[in-house]
Structure 1
Amino acid sequence: MKLFSARLSFPLLLLLLLVGLLLAPHFQQMASASALCDEKCGVRCSKAGVQDRCLKDCEICCEACNNCVPSGTYGNKDECPCYRDKYTGEGKRRRPKCP
């Protein structure tokens, strides 16, 4: 039974290693995108009254809009139409999602 287990574990280990190598560039790109969003949102939210909420919302919008965040601390949303057009819900309580 031990020999059977060793035969299965080597191909499985090899498969996991191969999958890890194939996905490594994807994880690296995600990490760099996150760092870029952190930097852009840090500037965007630098003067916000509630910074932690601003940063959280901005980072969500940044990643959803392919790292696009308007310049400055307020306004300029026409630079990023995706960012500008994100709203919370529908109806009376609908408001812009991205700071």
Structure 2
Amino acid sequence: MMVLASVQGYTAIAVGIIIGLGALGACIGVGVMCSKFLESAARQPELIPQLQGKVFLLLGLIDASFIIGVGIAMFLATNNPLLNAVLNVK
């Protein structure tokens, strides 16, 4: 029973780390990319339409990587395959 509680506790910590670091990385990435977009738009305003499409594409990819991380974390939180391995050992 102690092993089961340890696996659940470590899983909760891992889920928090996955979501927290994913959100932090996505926010930093979006902030850096958007600041560089504003800098380049101020330097060359004629390139704004070309750059804007690329920025929106990359925003979607950055957010998609965070959402994939949240999906994996929620899978571990709700249907943890490690718990089945612990229960089958006994």
Q: The TM-score by the shorter chain falls in which range?
A: 0.3 to 0.5
**TM superposition score normalised by structure 2:** 0.37
If you compute each CA radius of gyration, which structure gives the higher value, 1 or 2?
A: 1
More strand by share: 1
More helix by share: 2
**TM superposition score normalised by structure 1:** 0.34
**Quick one: higher RCO (CA 8 Å, sep 6+), 1 or 2?**
2
